[in-house]
Amino acid sequence: MSLNSRQMLAVLDALPDPVFVITEKGRYVGVFGHSDLKYYHDGHDLIGASVYEVMPLDIAQWVIDQIHNALTAGRVVKVEYELSASQVRGLDPDAGPDDTIWFEGRMQPFPGLIQGERAIIWTARNINGRKKLETELLRASQTDPLTRTANRRKLMETLHENFAAFKRYGHPMSLIMFDIDHFKKLNDRFGHLAGDTVLRSLCDSCHSLLRENDLLARFGGEEFIVVLPSTPLQQALATAQRIRIDVPAAAARITSQEKKVTLSLGVSELTPQDSSYSQILHRADKALYIAKSNGRNRVEAITT
C-alpha cells in the first residue's frame, strides 16, 4: 500500500523544518513543513512570488547565487545565514519568533524541470540554539573570568586587527597600559578576596568611560591595557587622565574609602615606523614604568 497525493502532502506539511521549492529564476513553487510557530514563520503565502518581490535586492541576489551554486554543484550544498520576518514581505512578524533567526540551509537540485525551469529544494533549519552556544563559548574563550574584561588572546587579536588597519588605511590607534599602585600591599592588608573586589569594581568603572569599540583587557595580575582604535595620542592622553581620576573614585564608592587605590598609566600611539604592534606595547610599558618612577598616580606618554 502506498500513500496517495493528499497523504503525501500531509506528510510534507508535518515536517518540522520548512522546505521550499524555488526555481532557478527565484520563484517559490512549493512551501512545506514548519508548522511550529515557536521556531518559524508561516511562509505558505510565498508560493507564486519571486524572491525579488519579497526580499531586499541584496538578500534576493544572495538567494539566487546560492541556487545557482547548488545547481552547478549538482549535489547538496550547505550555507548558514540569518533572516528576520521583517526582511520578507508577506510574513506575519507577530506569528512566529520575534528575533532574527539563524538558519542552516541545505539545497539540492530538484529532479526534473518545473514549468520548463530547473529548481532546487531548500530545507531551512533553525540553529539559533547552536549559534547562541557558539557565541557564549567564544565569549568565554576571550574573557578574563574574574574581571569580565578581555583576556590576552582577545587583546592580541584586536591589536593585530588594528595594526593591519593602521598599515593599510592609516587609521590611528593608541594604547593605555595601567596598573594599580601598591596592589600587593592592599592584598596583604585586606586579603585576596578584597583585592578581587577592587579589580572587578575598577574594571566596571573603566568600562563606563570607554566607547563601544574600545577594548579593556587584563594583561596580567593588576595590569590592564586599553586599546583605543581611531584615536590619536592627545585624545588618548585625555582618556587616560579620566581613567586615573574617575575610575578609582567610582571604585571607592563601590568598595570603601579604606581600600581606595590610585593608578599609574602609560600611553603611546602607533607610528609609521612600527613594524609590529609589539612596539607600541613596549612603549606603553616603558611609559608606565616612568609613571611609577615619577611618583605613581600619574600619566606618562612615549611616542618614539
Question: What is the distance between the alpha carbons of residues 94 and 9, in angstroms, rounded to a whole number?
Answer: 26
As to burial, measured by CB atoms within 10 angstroms (0-12 exposed, 13-18 middle, 19+ buried), residue 17 is middle
**Residue of 222, 223, 258, 269 with catalytic role:** 222
Query: What's the distance, CA 120 to chain centroid?
Result: 32
Residue 39 near residue 97, CB atoms below 8 Å: yes
- What are the φ/ψ torsions at residue 97 (nearest 5 degrees)? -60, 145
Question: What is the distance between the alpha carbons of residues 106 and 81, in angstroms, rounded to a whole number?
Answer: 11
> Is position 117 annotated as part of the catalytic site?
no
Burial 244-258 (b: 16+ CB within 10 A, else e): beebbebbbeebeee
Task: Tell me which residues are annotated as active site.
Answer: 222
